[in-house]
Each structure stands twice: as structure tokens, then as C-alpha cells.
Structure 1
């Protein structure tokens, strides 16, 4: 039998591949802006391949791509009739891919997320959010996921509602916050306080995902690690956020020579602002050294980036066989059989 999430956490770091949203837009199967994962129905093979690529790059988890596949988003795009089929299909495709893992069947996680509907001053919005989570988690239970990932919450209370609905179905919960530029959750809680409270209420893993790159997420991960007894997760975006621009929503690109069709580089002009894989490895080492247990990367991440994180924390991916090895490179290699007239040219290339 495959090990549970709890068992894997007890044995060492767990890797969770995320970032499907930007990756599938980059591959041409998802619309930027609305960001609704219709790919599960429109191009299931494209979604399966994306799941597969992240799993073989080191992910222990195939996360069902139902981010934004909630009733409010489907209402906005006028496709509420596709809500349940989309959710169930995304989970079923994830289960098919998880069984392909050549060493140990991957875990399958259901996914719920920020609704953009929650309003702390409006009790009706809270009830609507609860109903949305309840139906999605019910489908997760019926499709037999291993746990549910609740992510990118910027209100503590919304995250708590998510946790409660996951617990009603008897499923383990991973709950992570997306911290915006105010540096506190939008209902006034510090992110470390929110994580501590969720842990006390029974979440298996708590932490942060999305919005922030390693440089501006890690200081808060350190606070969470100090505050929380139990498993801590960290899944930053792979962009060079800074103290002045702590999230990717307002990252400037001073080198851009054209006018952008969007107000900011987010979401379709972030390309020059990537961290390279070695910066991500440096972050992963720092996070591992302070005791982070659940690792990943969020929007913008590629499988090769995730593999670098996995290898840095001591994991070997199925596709680690394709990790960089420059020994045979015609200019920069060190192999004795390389043509010397080419390797001597490397400083002039």
C-alpha cells in the first residue's frame, strides 16, 4: 500500500508540484485573466502530461487542477453547468497519472482555494463560501483523494472555513496562505498566527504559497516555523520579488522596451523576472535547514525548477537522470575526448 501524507512527512520532506496555472497558459491550454482550468474537459491529455511532468520531476503529489474551479468563478464565465464535471475529471486524471509512478504510487490531492467572494463584513458571503467548499470537498471524498490542499487564502477566516469543510469529510488538510503586500492577512491576523490557529484546529500542514518569491516569503516562513509545532509548508513563486515589491502583482521590468497591454507585468509579462534554478535551490536549502517539511513552487514554476528543489532537499526524482551535466558540452565540458580547438574557444564564444 502507498504511504499516506502523514507517513511520508514522518519519513522526510514531501514535494508537491504546483504551478499548473501559468504552465498550462504557457503551453497554450488556458486563458490568462479568467484563469479557469477548463483544460480538464477541453484537453485532458494536455493536463495529464502536465501532471506527469511534475510528478516525474520529483512531486510526491499529483494535485488535482481545480484551482479556481469553484462556483463563483464558473458563474463569472457563465459555465456553472461544467462545475461538477470539471472537478471530477481533474481528480480522475490525477489518479490515472499517480498510478504511473514507477517507484511508489503518488498521492492525489483535491484542491480548493481563495474564492474572491469572501467578505468578513458580509455573513451571506461566508455562507456562500462554505457551500462552495462543501460541494467541492464532497466530490473529493467521493473520488477518493488522499488529502485536500486548501491554498492561497488571504483571509484567516476563509481558510478556517475550508479546514472545517475538509474535516467534515474526514480528510487530511494542507492549508496555505497567500500573503499580499500589506504583510498581514486581510482580516488582521499575522500569517504566523493564522498558521498556528489552523494547526491547533487540526490541519496536518500549514504554511504559505503563491504571491511571493523566495526572498519575500522566507522571512515569514521562518516566523511560522518558530510559531507552529508540526509540519510547515512553503511554496513560493519563482520570481524575484523584493522588499519594495513583495508580490508578483506589481513587479516592474525596467528593461522592457515596449508598452504592455496590461497595467503591470502580471500576469503575462513576468518572463524576465524569473529566479534561476540555483536561486531556488539556495532558497530550498535555507527552508530545509530551518525545518520546513512540505516543499513546492507555485505559479510560474516549471518541472525543471521543481526537480532542483527536490534534489536540494535530498530527494532523487525519476527524471533526475536528466539533471544538468556539463562535462560533455562542446564548449564548456571537461571530458578529455572533447575537441580542444573548441573548448579553448570558450572564453571568446
Structure 2
């Protein structure tokens, strides 16, 4: 199990980033980021799990990000009506288990933040959404549970409490940086509240790069130590550089979601090891000797890539972006749950706000 592995001192590696990977491959629509591909294109989801397993992942996380019923029907995205949330969650569990059984991997069922919470619905109503997914996870007997991608610690706590009733280990990650959640709760305070709610593993995911994510996890660790609490720590960072991001992370950058290419982490940073493109001899000292590419061998050292100033190929591009400072959070009109597609009038009003920020 996950806790046995962690308690023994083992570092556990998980998969992730499915919505972006599958969007690039043509199976997920940017914007909704919902996982209907688990039903409509199961072979694509299965293939991505296998790639992660081959790369060394110890955990296959079910492709159930944004797979709650309210998210699947939000803003005219009628996946819940066409397919049903239950079918999406069941298919995702079956695919993850199939691939996990091909190696020594665990299966984690995941839930994420909900339109119901952002629309100011009650704790009872929000927890009901989580329990609908939990029923499937219990039926499919996943190994542990993950509550991920929460911008508000209050909702993350509700998710942990709902999942903890299963008796299975719960991990909880928030999409926050060093500034804390959208209501100003610090990372340390977030960690304390999540552990007290029943999480055995806490951390961050998705809105910031590895460097900033580690800074946030460090603050979580310090908060737990100050409170006399213990928990395992977890980080699922972006594969994008985010030094220019504010509290909301990279979703607040003007490049999100269709212009992210120039801020992508380099291949050697994502892979984490120069051996990925160095000599085929596993006993190599990484000097480049024995490698048969005349173009790559002179660059076969970490220092080369750490000090290289990457050019974008786009003349006059700025080195940094200016976040839009969107600032929307729970209760903001633009985030209220809505089954109908966004209307032209709503779009016009939004564009007017962008022209005249004072109108906000």
C-alpha cells in the first residue's frame, strides 16, 4: 500500500498531467478539461498510463480529474447527459487497474474542486458530489484516494472528510503557491487543516513549476512541524516555468491555455536525468564518450543546459509575462455553475471588463 511504501522510506512516483498530454494528442478539449476520453477513447488513456508505467511511475491515478457530475454538465458541457459521470469514473478505474497490474503499481482514485463549491453551495451539497465519485472508487477497489487541484482549503477539507469515510488512505494536494489559497490561508495552515481532516499525505499540484512547488511544500512542512503534526509530503508540479506567476499560478498568465509552448520546461528538466539522451551504455560516466551523435556529445553535460539561454525564435518576445490578475474566486459571477453554454451576452460583458478593469 501507499503508506507502507512511504513509511519504509521509499520515494513513490506518480503519473499525472493527463489533461494536457491528451489535449496535445487531440483527445481532451482545452477549457473544460474533462475526462470523457476514458469512455470515448479508452485506448488513448491506456497508452498514456503505460508510458508513465514504463517511465517508472509507481501509481496510476485514475483519469477522473474534473469527473464530478456538476463539472461534466457545467457551461454547456453535456458529458454527464451523453455519457454519465458514473461511466466516466468506472472506465477510468478499469483502465488504471489494468495498466497497474502490468507492473508493481498502485491505483489512486482522484477528485478535484467543483463548480458547486465555487457557486457557494452548502457543505452537504459539495460533499454529495465527492461521495458520488467515491462510490465508484469503492466499487472498483482503488488502493488509495487523492483530493487534488483545490484553490480553497475549505473545499479541500470537505473533500478529505468525504473520502476519509472510506477507510482508505487519503492524499490531498492544493494548486497553490507560497502565497497560499485564494482566501489567504497560508500553505502551513492549509497543511495543518488537511491533516486534521484526515489526510495522510499533503502537498501541492498543477499551478506552479517544480522550484516554486518545492518552496510551497517546504512551507507546508514547517507548518506541520510547528503544529506538532506528521504527514508524508507530495508534489505534482507543472512542466512549465512560472517565475512570473501570482497567487493563481499559470492559469492567470495570458499564454494560458493555447500559448504555453515557450514556457515549457526543457526535456532534460522534465526527464530529470542526463542519461535519457547520453550514451546507451548504462555504465557510462555521462562524459559523452561512446555516444554516437556528433551534434549531441559536446552538449552532454548538465552545466551546458543549466547555463544555456534559450531563444524562443519569436522576435521581440518579452522574457516574462504579466499575469492578468483575474482574481475570481468562490462566489464570483463568472464562476457560478451553469448548465447552459456561455451566452454571447455573457462573453460581451466579460470582454468589456477586460477593456475597463475599473468596471470590476
Aligned residue runs from structure 1 range 1-349, under 5 A: 4-11=1-8, 12-76=10-74, 77-81=77-81, 82-101=84-103, 105-119=104-118, 122=120, 124-179=121-176, 183-228=179-224, 229-243=230-244, 245=246, 247-251=249-253, 264-278=254-268, 280=269, 305=270, 307-308=271-272, 327-333=291-297
- Give CA deviations for 1:60-94 in whole Å, capped at 9, x if unaligned: 00000000111111112123242101100100010
Matched residue count: 278
1:325, 1:167 → 2: CA distance? 50
Judged with a 3 Å threshold, the aligned counterparts in structure 2 of structure 1 residues 203 and 244 are, in CA distance, closer, same or farther, namely closer
1:231, 1:83 → 2: CA distance? 31
Whether the 8 Å contact between 2:177 and 2:216 is mirrored in structure 1 is no
User: What's the CA shift for 1:325?
Assistant: 9.3
What does residue 286 of structure 1 align with? none
User: What's the CA shift for 1:170?
Assistant: 1.1
Whether the 8 Å contact between 2:207 and 2:237 is mirrored in structure 1 is yes
Judged with a 3 Å threshold, the aligned counterparts in structure 2 of structure 1 residues 244 and 64 are, in CA distance, closer, same or farther, namely closer
- Give CA deviations for 1:192-214 in whole Å, capped at 9, x if unaligned: 21112211332110011011112
Judged with a 3 Å threshold, the aligned counterparts in structure 2 of structure 1 residues 71 and 245 are, in CA distance, closer, same or farther, namely same
Judged with a 3 Å threshold, the aligned counterparts in structure 2 of structure 1 residues 274 and 89 are, in CA distance, closer, same or farther, namely same
User: What's the CA shift for 1:54?
Assistant: 1.0
1:331, 1:177 → 2: CA distance? 42
TM-score normalized with structure 2 length:
0.72
User: What's the CA shift for 1:119?
Assistant: 4.4
TM-score normalized with structure 1 length:
0.74
Give unpaired runs (5+ residues) of structure 1: 252-263, 281-304, 313-319, 335-349
- Give CA deviations for 1:85-120 in whole Å, capped at 9, x if unaligned: 11001000100010111xxx2100001001133149
What does residue 254 of structure 1 align with? none
User: What's the CA shift for 1:191?
Assistant: 1.8
Whether the 8 Å contact between 1:154 and 1:180 is mirrored in structure 2 is no
1:154, 1:34 → 2: CA distance? 17
Whether the 8 Å contact between 2:112 and 2:148 is mirrored in structure 1 is yes
2:134, 2:245 → 1: CA distance? 38
2:78, 2:60 → 1: CA distance? 28
1:127, 1:200 → 2: CA distance? 19
Q: Secondary structure at the match of 1:225?
A: helix
Q: Secondary structure at the match of 2:172?
A: strand
Whether the 8 Å contact between 2:161 and 2:198 is mirrored in structure 1 is no
2:297, 2:216 → 1: CA distance? 40
User: What's the CA shift for 1:187?
Assistant: 3.5
User: What's the CA shift for 1:180?
Assistant: 6.3
List structure 1 segments (4+ residues) > 4 angstroms apart after TM superposition.
Answer: 243-246, 323-326
Judged with a 3 Å threshold, the aligned counterparts in structure 2 of structure 1 residues 325 and 134 are, in CA distance, closer, same or farther, namely farther
Whether the 8 Å contact between 1:207 and 1:221 is mirrored in structure 2 is yes
2:163, 2:47 → 1: CA distance? 28
1:203, 1:50 → 2: CA distance? 28
